[in-house]
Amino acid sequence: MATENPTPPHALGRQLNFATGRANALCEKWLEPHGLTLPQWVILSCLWREGELTVGQLSELIGTRLPATSRIIDRMVARGLLARKKDKRDGRVMVVKPTAKGNELNHLADFYERVNAALLEGFSAHDQEQAFALLARIEANARAALNKG
């Protein structure tokens, strides 16, 4: 096992994945006692803000492809957390909304604030702004490079 150059290269992709992986692991750990996975909380969080949404709108909002979003919703419907119903304004459109059982978890609506506080522990107000701003620029650059082909 050679160790001539053991230091990992200064790869931003690596650093992004490690930070995001640990942040998601923390969310999963904190949500587990409430019987929720992180993707399930993200869906409920969108619906608590928006009331009801189509699967397509949820897919867009959470940044997950339609089939994966549908599978998460199927599981939440099976667990009685969400229900599918016809949109009031257009009966041909199906929307998803939390059930009474789903809404019992509404005390987790500001869960992300607890996560922010942990991840940004020791950050000055300026560093906090920088973290959001630099990540938004990285995301925009990745989107631009993806669209460039």
Binding stretches for its own copies (CB under 8 A) = 1-6, 8-27, 29, 38, 42, 45-46, 49-54, 57, 61, 63, 87, 89, 95, 110, 112-113, 115-116, 118-123, 127, 130-132, 134-139, 141-146
Question: Taking a C-beta distance cutoff of 8 angstroms, is the pair 44, 51 a contact?
Answer: no
- Residue 14 or 78: the one with the smaller Cβ distance to its own copies is 14
Beta carbon of residue 97, minimum distance to its own copies (angstroms, whole number) = 10
Of 37 and 116, which CB lies nearer to its own copies in the complex structure? 116
Nearer to its own copies, 38 or 76 (CB): 38
Q: How far is the CB of 22 from its own copies (least distance, A)?
A: 4
Q: How far apart are CA 81 and CA 44, in angstroms?
A: 9
